[in-house]
Amino acid sequence: VVTFYPGPSKVYPQVAQYMQNAFDEGVLSLNHRSAGFMQLLQKTLQLLHQKLDIPSEYSIYLVSSATEAWEVVAQSLTAQHSMHFYNGSFGKKWFHYTANIVPNASATWFDPQHTLTHHLFERETAIAQHNLTHLAAAEVVCLTHNETSNGTQLTLTDVQKIRQNTDAIVALDVTSSLGGVALPWAQGDVWLASVQKCLGLPAGLGLMVCSPKALAKARLLNDHLRYNSLLAIDDNFTKFQTHYTPNVLGVYLLMKIMNQVADIQTIDSKTKARAQDWYKFINTQTPWQSLIQNTDTRANTVIAVAGEPVAIEALKKRATQHQITIGNGYGEWKSHSFRIANFPAIEDWEIEKLKRILS
């Protein structure tokens, strides 16, 4: 079956062989305090730095999921207040989990057809001034870089504008963009993701990329209440160990895939060219329209397509007959949209096959 589901998504075909290798090499029984595991983790972190072009002063941690990383941000980096901007389901969920932990979390919805910059700054002066004042006073700002539910992304300008207008810790959910497009690391303090989207791996690992500023904040708050408090994670990772018995198969597969993939600049160009091609194709050669009309906010890695529920049901049936899985709509767009993953593991012949069904 060919799958375009935006997570869990297509895994690289090489994963089959890597799983066998892990078994044969005895990796699966490695103790997580052993030299063998420490070498594996060190190599994995080094390859992530190298292939994803992560600045050397940023540290990388592995956790269980992006959802867990949301809670680490709330527990270890937020004393009083986090400010969430979202336009779809994942950003909203992040806010709800945080609100259970952080006394004064606040959230602002913005229109997925407009940029965050437009929402915050390009309106009446009084509103823009009000937003600037709030941003300047923020402790932690939480942004969903790539909103998988509706196929939107923040622009580089959005991310830069936030950075320029606050001293807050800036946390970005890049679950469906990390590994698919180049990220402006210096513009954020916490970049969180999981492996089952653009990294083309089976689910079961989350990633956190943290700036020195994030670490300094963690030290200031000194949260040690939880097994996954950021300082405990950091203590372990500086020794190339983990704070609990890890998903060692997942770590091994991540190492192998990072070793295999091209550098992020190469992947970025390919992803963006494919995205352009997808949007053009959908809007000009099919009866469908892209859900997001604003070319600035359309995601490169998740293509959301709008249509009538009946037509979408018929399309899904036809796709299933051809052994193709497309992504369901999500949240409030569930019945009148579908989604196409534009992740690096997907091959050109698979795209051609789906195009024939859509046109």
The answer to whether residue 301 forms part of the interface with ligand PLP (CB under 6 A) is no
Residue closer to ligand PLP, measured from CB, 84 or 121? 84
Exactly one of 14, 21, 67, 241 binds ligand PLP (CB under 6 A); which one?
67
The reply on whether position 328 binds ligand PLP by CB under 6 A is: no
Total residues at the site for ligand PLP (CB under 6 A)?
Answer: 12
Query: Of 144, 228, 290, 342, which one interacts with ligand PLP (CB under 6 A)?
Result: 144
Token pair listed for 208? 């956190």
Q: Does the protein bind ligand PLP through residue 247 (CB under 6 A)?
A: no
Separation in Å, CA 182 to CA 164, 250, 263, 267: 20, 23, 10, 8
Shortest spacing between CB 206 and ligand PLP, in angstroms: 6
* Euclidean distance between CA atoms 304 and 330, whole angstroms: 10
Q: Which of 3, 4, 7, 200 binds ligand PLP (CB under 6 A)?
A: 7
| Nearest to ligand PLP of 36, 331 (CB atom) | 331
Cβ nearer to ligand PLP, comparing 7 with 307: 7
In the list 11, 60, 66, 291, the residue contacting ligand PLP (rule: CB under 6 A) is 66
User: Residue 150 interacts with ligand PLP (CB under 6 A)?
Assistant: no
DSSP E strands in 187-293: the ranges are 190-194, 206-210, 289-290
Q: What are phi and psi of 194, to 5 degrees?
A: -135, 175
Closer residue to ligand PLP in complex, CB, 18/191: 191
Nearest distance, CB of residue 308 and ligand PLP, angstroms: 25
- Rounded least distance, CB 86 to ligand PLP, Å: 10
Nearer to ligand PLP, 142 or 312 (CB): 142
Choosing from 12, 61, 85, 90, the residue that interacts with ligand PLP (CB under 6 A) is 90
Q: Which residues within the stretch 203-222 sit at the binding site for ligand PLP (CB under 6 A)?
A: 206
Among 9, 78, 87, 148, binds ligand PLP (CB under 6 A): 148
With CB under 6 A as the contact rule, the residue among 65, 290, 300, 301 that binds ligand PLP is: 65
Q: Compare residues 144 and 337 and give the one whose CB is closer to ligand PLP.
A: 144
Cβ atoms of 327 and 341 within 8 Å: the answer is yes
300 counts as binding ligand PLP under rule CB under 6 A? no
Residues of span 165-204 touching ligand PLP by CB under 6 A:
173, 175-176, 194
DSSP notation for 286-332: SS-EES---TTTB-SSEEEEE--HHHHHHHHHHHHHTTEE-EEP-GG
DSSP for 243-262, please give it. SS---HHHHHHHHHHHHHSP
Q: Which residues of 236-271 are buried (b: 16+ CB within 10 A; e: fewer)?
A: bbeebbbbeebbbbbbbbbbbbbeebeebeebbeeb
Question: Which helix H or strand E contains 121, and what residues bound it?
Answer: helix 116-121
* Spatial distance between the Cα atoms of 196 and 252, rounded to a whole number of angstroms: 14
d(CA 51, CA 28): 25
95 Cβ neighbours under 8 A, 6+ residues apart: 84, 86, 105, 107, 142
> Strand pairing of 190-194 and 206-210?
antiparallel
Binding site for ligand PLP (CB under 6 A): 7, 65-67, 90, 144, 148, 173, 175-176, 194, 206
